[in-house]
């Protein structure tokens, strides 16, 4: 078995064209993504923050609450907000109408906010005001008893970048470009199809002379298929690890901190890619060129549905036909990466892994059915 493994391994890794599609192409694609999106690509949780332009109108600063709010706003100026102080409400509204500011804070006994539209920045401004109101009593106490500690107190509940990011964990990351990299790795996993299809040819006597030669030996055909699968999964797993290293270490895209789970999803991705290839290669009756052509579609189309070409595609499908996202291996893989890198949802992650395992078993069984025929009608 080890002997068969060794030679199949050597034979596969030396086949440049197949290795290119399985490893080289995803790396090139990732690099192109990186350069296309420029410096905006950073891992979720490390996103560049644009300060929100905000107008502040002081209507009445005599009350303690208004004073506290003034200090609160000053504390956030230059961090979360870019504050423009204006003397009148009309002037502030003019700025708002001209889209020069996102919102207007009114400093008074009961601070208020006016925004022009609905959006993420507007939500942040609202959230900031709500947070101040909820904690205003404590702020007043600190202000009266330990005014020197006020900035620290305000900072402790004023990190809206973090809170807003956590609120988006339902699938809308602050940087949608990261989605492309999850879809890319999912696509790379499915590229195992090329390895599987190519290998299936060497087992089928009706397609290649090599298949015929291997079929007339006393080595059981299932053994050959199992060895093929083990070799291909090993190689493809290594491909995906290399791609992960490239994405995380060279392109500096974070895929999460849970390395073990990441390895699990990489392994499952490799298995399902290879099994898809073995199943497709074994069942269909096309020649090698046709099968390779279809393999491109077999990897790119699920990749497209999972957001490889259009980042929001997966969310659109989730809204209109979520079943596709459950059975599309690229979408399930992408979802598993999300669970690790963004959601931190281990239950959902486990569900993804189970779906992938189930699909792999089905595909491998199909591959066995395809090659189990002992002799052929024509060669």
Q: Which residues bind another protein (CB under 8 A)?
A: 3-4, 7, 10-12, 14-15, 205, 208-210, 212-220, 374-379
209/250 with CB nearer another protein: 209
- Tell me how far, at minimum, the Cβ of 25 lies from another protein, in Å: 19
47/208 with CB nearer another protein: 208
49/222 with CB nearer another protein: 222
Largest separation between any pair of C-alpha atoms in the chain: 96
14/320 with CB nearer another protein: 14
| Long-range Cβ contacts of 257-260 (<8 Å, 24+ apart) | 258/340
Task: Give the CB-side neighbour count of residue 148, counting CA atoms within 13 A.
Answer: 0
- Going by the DSSP 8-state scheme, the letter that residue 247 receives in this structure is I
Report the 10 Å Cβ neighbour count for 207.
Answer: 20
62/375 with CB nearer another protein: 375
212/300 with CB nearer another protein: 212
365/376 with CB nearer another protein: 376
- Tell me how far, at minimum, the Cβ of 378 lies from another protein, in Å: 6
- Tell me how far, at minimum, the Cβ of 11 lies from another protein, in Å: 5
Q: Could you give the 3-state DSSP secondary structure of residue 82?
A: strand
Cα separation, 290 vs 302, in Å, equals 19
220/320 with CB nearer another protein: 220
Per the DSSP assignment, residues forming a β-bridge with 106 are 57, 112
Cα separation, 297 vs 361, in Å, equals 22
- Tell me how far, at minimum, the Cβ of 23 lies from another protein, in Å: 16
Q: Could you give the 3-state DSSP secondary structure of residue 110?
A: coil
- Tell me how far, at minimum, the Cβ of 17 lies from another protein, in Å: 11
- Going by the DSSP 8-state scheme, the letter that residue 204 receives in this structure is -
- Tell me how far, at minimum, the Cβ of 217 lies from another protein, in Å: 4
- Tell me how far, at minimum, the Cβ of 292 lies from another protein, in Å: 16
- Tell me how far, at minimum, the Cβ of 221 lies from another protein, in Å: 9
**Cβ distance 270 to 241 under 8 Å?**
no
The two beta strands, 112-115 and 81-86, are unpaired
DSSP string, 149-211: GHHHHHHHH--HHHHHHHHGGGT--S-THHHHHHHHHHHHHHTHHHHHHHHHHTT-TTT-HHH
67/214 with CB nearer another protein: 214
Q: Is 334 exposed, middle or buried (0-12, 13-18, 19+ CB in 10 A)?
A: buried
Cα separation, 262 vs 342, in Å, equals 13
Positive/negative CA dihedral, 186, 192, 194, 197: negative
Cα separation, 181 vs 255, in Å, equals 9
- Written as six digits, the tokens of 280 are 């497709």
- Tell me how far, at minimum, the Cβ of 366 lies from another protein, in Å: 20
């Amino acid at each position: 078995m080890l002997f068969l493994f060794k030679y199949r391994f050597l034979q596969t890794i030396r086949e440049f064209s197949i290795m290119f599609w399985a490893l080289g192409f995803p790396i090139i694609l990732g690099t192109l993504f990186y350069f296309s999106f420029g410096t905006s690509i950073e891992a979720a949780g490390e996103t560049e923050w644009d300060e929100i332009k905000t107008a502040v109108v002081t209507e009445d600063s005599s009350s303690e609450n208004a004073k506290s709010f003034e200090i609160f706003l000053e504390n956030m100026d230059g961090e979360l907000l870019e504050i423009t102080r204006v003397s009148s409400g009309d002037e502030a509204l003019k700025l708002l109408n001209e889209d020069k500011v996102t919102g207007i804070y009114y400093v008074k006994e009961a601070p208020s906010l006016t925004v022009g539209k609905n959006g993420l920045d507007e939500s942040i401004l609202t959230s900031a005001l709500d947070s101040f109101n909820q904690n205003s009593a404590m702020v007043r106490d600190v202000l009266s008893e330990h005014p020197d500690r006020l900035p620290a107190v305000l900072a402790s509940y004023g990190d809206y970048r973090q809170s807003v990011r956590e609120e988006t964990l339902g699938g809308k990351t602050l940087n949608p470009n990261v989605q492309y990299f999850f879809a890319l790795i999912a696509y790379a996993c499915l590229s195992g199809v090329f390895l599987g299809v190519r290998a299936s040819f060497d087992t089928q006597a009706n397609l290649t002379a090599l298949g015929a030669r291997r079929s007339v030996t006393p080595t059981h055909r299932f053994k050959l298929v199992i060895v093929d699968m083990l070799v291909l999964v090993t190689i493809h797993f290594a491909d995906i690890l290399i791609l992960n290293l490239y994405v995380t270490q060279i392109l500096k895209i974070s895929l999460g901190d849970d390395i073990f789970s990441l390895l699990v999803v990489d392994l499952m991705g490799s298995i399902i890619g290879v099994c898809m290839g073995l199943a497709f290669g074994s069942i269909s009756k096309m020649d090698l060129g046709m099968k390779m052509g279809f393999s491109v579609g077999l990897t790119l189309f699920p990749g497209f549905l999972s957001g490889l070409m259009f980042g929001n595609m997966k969310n659109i499908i989730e809204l209109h036909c979520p079943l596709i996202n459950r059975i599309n291996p690229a979408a399930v893989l992408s979802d598993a990466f999300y669970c690790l890198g963004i959601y931190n949802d281990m239950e959902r992650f486990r569900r993804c892994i189970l779906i992938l395992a189930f699909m792999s078993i089905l595909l491998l069984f199909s591959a066995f059915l395809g090659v189990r025929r002992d002799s052929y009608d024509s060669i």
